[in-house]
Amino acid sequence: MFVPEGASRFWPFVMGTPRDGRAPRWNAHLLLWRGLAHAVLGLQPTEPRELWSQLPRDYLATFMRAEGAGKEHPSRRFVASKVRVGESVLDVGCGAGVGFEALQEADLASRYVGVDSSEPSIEVARELHPGGDFRIGNATGIAAQFGEASFDVVLVRHVLEHLPDFEVAMDQAVAVSRRLALFVFYLTPRALPFGVRKVNPGHNRAGLYTYIYSRPAIERFLAGAGLHRQWYDHLGVSRAGWFAGEVNSALVVSRQPL
């Protein structure tokens, strides 16, 4: 079971240690406890929070490229290692096209489609990568947009944390994939206190969801659907600065044994 570096398995969060490089906000722990209380009481919101389209274009063009978060990130290399030559890839939440860059460098981008709900992000991606295929799309509607079993591999990277829940988007990605659905998290799912399904740790609370999901809840959901899955942890340091040692993790899902 994944536990962040320095954390207890009974309370798997760590805040503001020297490795983080930044002092936590004065009320960081209070916000985390509030998020847990909301989860226990069933007070978590369910309405969409889509503010990506309101972010400045300059920010969108550089987001996920700086500070070692670009195509060189270990989680990007992990994704490329799971794609076979000649396979088609749907990149859900593609942003400004860093995933395309990573696959292109590995000579795996010839059958690539990137979708994002942010029209400005898609515009930037098209400008930066005129050879790529970038379209407006939403993680919860890709089956209707593309059809079931329409891509060999469906990648959903750093998206589920920003949704009100994981089930619909995960189910959609599996439906559209022919071979694999890859889910990459920057807030790694783990066992959560009191058996709650998700906790919003509080950063960007007003603008975006930033949920840490329960790994046992995800496991139950996939097992109920009869799907095969495998977790890969410690895939490069995350940019989530509130948690010391927070790392990217990936979940590989398939209808066939892995």
Number of domains making up the chain: 1
User: What is the percent of the chain where pLDDT is above 90?
Assistant: 66
Q: Is residue 4 part of a domain?
A: no
CATH of the domain at 118: 3.40.50.150
Rounded mean pLDDT, 240-253: 81
- Residue 254: C-alpha distances to residues 32, 177, 228, 230, 234 (Å): 34, 8, 5, 9, 21
Please say whether the beta carbons of 117 and 142 come within 8 A.
Answer: no
- Is residue 247 in a domain? yes
Alpha carbon 124 to its chain's center = 20
Q: Does 11 fall in a domain?
A: no
Task: Report yes or no on 102 lying in a domain.
Answer: yes
Least confident of 88-92, 98-102, 208-212: 208-212
**Model confidence pLDDT, tens digit, residues 197-231:** 999 887 666 678 889 999 999 999 999 999 999 99
Which structural domain range is residue 170 located in? 22-254
pLDDT by residue (tens digit) across 170-188? Answer: 999 999 999 999 999 999 9
* The pLDDT value given to residue 248: 94
> If you average pLDDT over every residue of the chain, what do you get?
89
Give a yes or no: residue 62 inside a domain. Answer: yes
181-208: burial string, b at 16+ Cβ within 10 Å, e else: bbbbbbbbbbbbeeebbbbbbbbeeeeb
Tell me if 8 is assigned to some domain.
no
Per residue in 103-148, pLDDT (tens digit) is 999 999 999 999 999 999 999 999 999 999 999 999 999 999 999 9
Contact 121, 137 (CB under 8 A): no
Contacts of 218-224 with CB under 8 Å at 24 or more apart are 218/166, 218/170, 218/189, 218/251, 221/166, 221/167, 221/170, 222/170, 222/253
Predicted model pTM: 0.94
Q: Is residue 13 part of a domain?
A: no
Tell which wins on pLDDT, 81 or 3: 81
Residue 47 domain flag = yes
What's the pLDDT at 205?
61
